Copies of this chain bind each other. A is one copy, B any other.
Amino acid sequence: MASTFAVLADPHRREILDVLRAGERPVNDLVDWLALTQPAVSKHLRVLREAGLVEVRRDAQRRLYRLRAEPLAEVDAWLAPYRRMWERSLDALEERLDGMDG
């Protein structure tokens, strides 16, 4: 199964997650939102589902997809040790700017 990182590599998939942040949506809503054919969207949803990033619920003929953020914690955890590094760089930049004509 693809890693969460690999799943997030595709911009369309990130966009799907962004849309689902507002609440569950049927496939067709997502098709309208992204400029993609319905099968393409379904394929992305399958990848997201297999990665545990979305869940499905049936509503008559429709399938309502909902966000599952938990796997993103893994990404956040990987990122954690780096956070202090770019924060340090930004602080330094800020200090330089403060010193400039203050």
Contacts and interface: CB of A to CB of B under 8 A. Distances in A.
Contacts of A8: 5, 9
Contact of A5 (B9, B83, B89): B9
A17 B82 CA distance: 9
A5 B5 CA distance: 7
Interface residues of A, number: 25
Number of copies: 2
A40 interface: no
Given A14-B78, A21-B82, 10 more contacts: A5-B9, A5-B11, A8-B9, A67-B85, A70-B86, A72-B82, A72-B83, A72-B86, A76-B79, A79-B79
A95 B90 CA distance: 37
